[in-house]
Amino acid sequence: MSERATSDAVVCLEGIVTRFGRNIVHEGLDLTIRAGDIVALVGGSGSGKTTLLRHLVGLSRPAAGRVEVFGEALDAGGAAARLARQRRMGVLFQHGALFSAFSVAQNIAFPLRELGVISRPEIDRLVALKLAMVEMEPAHAPLMPAELSGGMVKRVALARALALEPELLLLDEPTAGLDPDRSASFIRLIRALHRELGLTVVLVTHDLDTLAQMATSVAVLAERRIVSHASLADTLAYDHPFVARFFSGLQARCGQPRGAGAG
């Protein structure tokens, strides 16, 4: 499925090519994400989902193609313009969640301190606000990451990703490693934040429950490109070997017939 940029596109990827040596990961990949969407990006292991998120935040660059966020090329303008764009995005990567030598409060304060313009009392106030936003107690603020449970680490990392009030939130396997209860409460939290803050979310997940409960659309990365970007119902009906494998559990639960093309 090929998509065209529209005025409300928060992300627009066109003709992305990514290579690591001889390994061609993306080849002519297109994807448009509109404001307020929660897009689940799914694909096989090593298909290039994390790399795509890294392209979006400017941590890596494709060999060819155009990466546009908020209607501008990612590398447009000078350093100040690039930084301003980056600050409109929050990212929660699967690994490397928190700085281990920093307390919870210091981790959340980090992006605020980096701005260099916010006073200490204001930073303290914002840290308390973000902690409450992710449903953690003020008493957690002085704890070190090693003292936290897996679910709490994710919450603090989310609070840090939300510190600068981003419009675009990128989540790489946010519920991986959480038990079902913690996973369900994390999903509720993201959905509430999405409702309250009007965020656009790109979510990489292998977890069908997370996907079914959160995503407004599903983008399927296979054969080095996005082969389908559609609602979950249309994705389930899309006749593709990866889709059949990945969604077999859901199809069985929903009794969904396959065969009609979605992309």
Ligand X SMILES: Nc1ncnc2c1ncn2[C@@H]1O[C@H](COP(=O)(O)OP(=O)(O)OP(=O)(O)O)[C@@H](O)[C@H]1O
Residue 48 touching ligand X (CB under 6 A)? yes
Q: In this complex, which beta carbon is closest to ligand X, that of residue 7 or of residue 45?
A: 45
CA 72 – CA 214 distance, rounded (Å): 27
**Residue 63: CB minimum distance to ligand X, A:** 12
Q: How far is the CB of 77 from ligand X (least distance, A)?
A: 26
* 263 binds ligand X per the rule CB under 6 A: no
Q: Is 224 in the site for ligand X (CB under 6 A)?
A: no
Q: Applying CB under 6 A, does 96 fall inside the site for ligand X? A: no
Taking the least distance from each CB to ligand X, the nearer of 50 and 235 is 50
Q: Is 47 in the site for ligand X (CB under 6 A)?
A: yes
Residue whose structure tokens are 């065209």: 4
Q: Does 46 bind ligand X (CB under 6 A)?
A: yes
Shorter beta-carbon distance to ligand X: residue 222 or 237: 222
Options 43, 62, 166, 174; binder of ligand X; rule CB under 6 A: 43
Torsion, CA 124, CA 129, CA 134, CA 140, rounded to 10: 40
Tokens representing 23 are: 């390994």
Closest CA to 61 of 70, 74, 43: 74
Contact between 174 and ligand X by CB under 6 A: the answer reads: no
**Helix axes 180-197 and 150-161, enclosed angle (nearest 10):** 10
Count, residues near ligand X per rule CB under 6 A: 11
Q: Is 25 in the site for ligand X (CB under 6 A)?
A: yes
Q: Is residue 50 at the binding interface for ligand X, with CB under 6 A as the rule?
A: yes
Per the structure block, which two tokens stand in for 81?
């313009």
DSSP string, 49-117: HHHHHHHHHTSS--SEEEEEETTEETT-S-HHHHHHHHTTEEEE-SS--S-TTS-HHHHHHHHHHHHS-
From the list 49-57, 70-78, 148-156, 246-254, the region that binds ligand X by CB under 6 A is 49-57
List phi, psi (to 5°) of 37. -75, 150
Question: Please, which residue, 93 or 238, has the CB nearer to ligand X?
Answer: 93
Cα-flanking dihedrals φ and ψ of residue 111, to 5°?
-65, -30
Interface with ligand X (CB under 6 A), residue from 51, 103, 228, 235: 51
Which residue of 7, 22, 45, 121 would you call a contact of ligand X, by CB under 6 A? 45
- Give the tokens for residue 14: 């066109």
Compute the least distance from the CB of residue 218 to ligand X, in Å.
15
Q: Are 164 and 112 in contact (CB under 8 A)?
A: yes
- Cβ distance to ligand X smaller for residue 94 or 185: 94
Q: Which residues bind ligand X (CB under 6 A)?
A: 20, 23, 25, 43, 45-51
